[in-house]
């Protein structure tokens, strides 16, 4: 059983998810298992993954057989496990609990060679719909407080499989990054009685220099203080705290804009590794006036070294205004 452990000084939680029988040298990262060989995510190999929890198919379809457009399956090597109780306990001054959670893989296409950035729009839209559907479904399990949805693309960004996929982890505690964002947003709201993200959108639209693209419902910009060169945020222009409230027309608009961001990024730096994450309100929370859901897209271009680890500062070699200009001006 994986274990959740809390650092007593910082309150930071760690998942101890033991990979059995490994020796220290098995953890050296410089190995590449991502290319070539058998792919468990390809169409035709459905039986090699755990049974699917969701699929979208163009016609009536037998689960775990070919013919799907998108499928969601439990991760075969989950960081957290779905069966059991939390059993919170102390150990002297330390705190720990069982590693209960869900860890799922969203397989974004049946075709091995179709990168997310170049998915047909209708297929990419299904990915965004699947995020909403899994969030809505996992909210029924009262053990879970948050679902973190993320994508790793490319080995440098932590992807261990080449086939286009994203992942979700349902967590029994609110992650620190989310509580910090919620606290920051609430402090601003108490002072201004406005959502800080709404104010940021307003300022970005008027300054223009960091905006990458926008359409009727969404906007994408390089944030004022980006951790990484070419970091981008994608937000709905109209205030909304939870991704679960997305409707069909919004999905079209989101897909349009997100797809454009990814194309611009790839045209600037072909094949660049990246992560993206969705930050939305905690599961089952009421609509929040102070929080605004958003995606953060992080190209993996600089390495995190001792200074960043030790300080929490990041060093970024490209001013966001220049990064945005590169992204705006590239031909797509």
Residue 127 near a copy of itself by CB under 8 A = no
In the residue annotation, 165 being an active-site residue is answered as yes
Length of the chain: 332
Could you give the C-alpha distances from 176 to 7, 14, 31, 181, 304, in angstroms and in order?
12, 11, 30, 8, 19
Nearest distance from C-beta of residue 177 to a copy of itself, angstroms? 4
User: What backbone phi and psi angles, to 5 degrees, belong to 194?
Assistant: -135, 155
Residues 196 and 290: their CA atoms lie apart, in Å, by 7
Question: Of the listed 153, 165, 239, 290, which one is catalytic?
Answer: 165
What residues numbered 173-202 form the site for a copy of itself, per CB under 8 A?
175-178, 180-181, 184-185, 188, 196-197, 199-200
Nearest distance from C-beta of residue 59 to a copy of itself, angstroms? 33
Residue 302 near a copy of itself by CB under 8 A = yes
Q: Residue 283, class by beta-carbon neighbours within 10 Å (0-12 exposed, 13-18 middle, 19+ buried)?
A: buried
How many C-beta atoms surround the C-beta of residue 306 within 10 A? 7
What residues numbered 251-270 form the site for a copy of itself, per CB under 8 A?
268-269
SS3 97: strand
Nearer to a copy of itself, 120 or 307 (CB): 307
Count of residues in contact with a copy of itself, rule CB under 8 A: 94
Stretch that binds a copy of itself, among 111-119, 128-136, 240-248, 311-319 (CB under 8 A): 311-319
User: What backbone phi and psi angles, to 5 degrees, belong to 91?
Assistant: -140, 90
Nearest to 265 by CA among 301, 294, 216: 301
What residues numbered 59-88 form the site for a copy of itself, per CB under 8 A?
79
Nearer to a copy of itself, 61 or 155 (CB): 155
Nearest distance from C-beta of residue 66 to a copy of itself, angstroms? 28
Residue 234 near a copy of itself by CB under 8 A = no
């Amino acid at each position: 059983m994986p274990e959740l452990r809390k650092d007593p000084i910082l309150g930071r939680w760690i998942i101890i998810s033991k990979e059995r029988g490994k020796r220290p040298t098995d953890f050296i990262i410089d190995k590449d298992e991502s290319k070539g060989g058998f792919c468990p995510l390809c169409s035709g190999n459905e039986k090699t993954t755990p049974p699917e929890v969701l699929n979208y198919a163009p016609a009536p379809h037998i689960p775990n057989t070919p013919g799907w457009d998108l499928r969601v399956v439990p991760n075969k090597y989950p960081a957290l496990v779905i069966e059991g109780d939390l059993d919170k306990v102390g150990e002297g001054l330390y705190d720990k609990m069982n590693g209960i959670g869900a860890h799922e893989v969203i397989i974004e296409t049946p075709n091995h060679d179709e990168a997310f950035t170049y998915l047909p729009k209708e297929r990419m839209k299904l990915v965004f719909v699947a995020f909403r559907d899994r969030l809505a479904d996992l909210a029924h399990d009262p053990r879970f407080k948050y679902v973190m949805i993320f994508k790793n693309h490319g080995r440098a960004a932590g992807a261990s499989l080449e086939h286009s996929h994203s992942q979700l982890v349902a967590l029994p505690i609110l992650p620190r990054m989310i509580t910090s964002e919620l606290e920051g947003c609430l402090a601003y709201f108490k002072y201004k009685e406005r959502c800080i993200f709404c104010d940021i959108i307003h300022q970005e639209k008027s300054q223009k220099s960091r905006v990458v693209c926008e359409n009727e419902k969404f906007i994408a910009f390089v944030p004022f203080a980006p951790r990484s060169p070419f970091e981008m945020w994608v937000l709905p222009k109209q205030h909304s705290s939870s991704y679960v409230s997305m409707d069909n027309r919004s999905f079209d608009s989101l897909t349009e804009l997100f797809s454009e961001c990814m194309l611009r990024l790839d045209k600037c730096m072909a094949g660049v590794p990246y992560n993206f994450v969705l930050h939305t309100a905690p599961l089952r929370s009421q609509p929040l006036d102070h929080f605004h859901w958003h995606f953060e897209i992080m190209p993996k271009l600089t390495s995190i070294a001792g200074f960043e680890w030790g300080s929490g500062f990041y060093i970024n070699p490209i001013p966001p205004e220049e990064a945005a200009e590169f992204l705006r001006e590239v031909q797509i």
